[in-house]
Amino acid sequence: MGQLDGKIAWVTGAGSGIGEAAAIALAGEGAVLVLTGRRKEPLDDVAAKIKAAGGKAHVHPCDLTVSAEVDDAAEQIAKRLGRIDILVSNAGANIVDRHWNKISAEGIDTLINFNLSSAMYVARAVMGIMRAQGGGLMIHTASMAGRNTGGFSGPGYQAAKHGVVAMSHSINQEECINGIRSTALLPGEVNTPILKQRPNPLSPEELARMLQPEDTGEVIRWIACQPKHVCINEMWVTPAWNRSYVAAIQRKL
């Protein structure tokens, strides 16, 4: 018996990285997974892994930057499976030319649409469903860039992720009376495909020292398994070898 037997979990950005790891971890606790992202093929691969391990998974591709598609996806999931108990809102993106000396208007749109607008669309889409069923849990993958400025991620990504953190807290402030809980998850550097958008490539040694997707998947599983009276409002998860801290130490030496 898993702690999430019978629960319906919708994971966005589920085709790789943190989303894939979260989906596999939640399925391991007995949840029925709905996997969403732009491309069907990676979602099918994740669904196959879950099913091979004895779990249940459905694939529902959509463009999370289009509100009508998000609304339709939520409605179809609720119609097909009866409810949405857990939302893992994980979709996001970054760009190479991310700093003020290079960023374009199109780049700004990409960062806001993929990191903030999409998160708000998904939260809005499940809100009515969760209210009607008496509650639910949302877990939003933000970033340490959602609390700190400067460094590697760039101003647009930082601004969007600050918005995600604020959005998550506002859900608790307004929806706790409806049994809805929201967690802002703030990982440090995670070895995921988004790192390929870094202007400066990282070495295998640097990647190995970072959080791995399975680390964050396990944290998401733990949050999802907390009892209904417990709300994890915000959680920071970082690598022990934190490159920002290391850089600060080296400047002092």
Phi/psi at 30 (nearest 5 deg)?
100, 0
Contact 140, 186 (CB under 8 A): no
CB atoms within 10 A of CB 38: 16
Closest C-alpha to 23, from 7, 39, 130, 38: 7
- Concerning whether 157 is annotated as a catalytic residue, the answer is yes
Annotated catalytic residue within 157, 161, 189, 210: 157
In SS3 terms, 155-218 reads as HHHHHHHHHHHHHHHHHHHHHHHHCEEEEEEEECCECCHHHHHCCCCCCHHHHHHCECHHHHHH
Please give the C-alpha separations between residue 219 and each of 113, 117, 224, 228, 253, in angstroms, as whole numbers: 26, 24, 9, 17, 34
SS in 3 state form for 136-153?
EEEEEECCHHHCCCCCCC
Catalytic center residues? 157
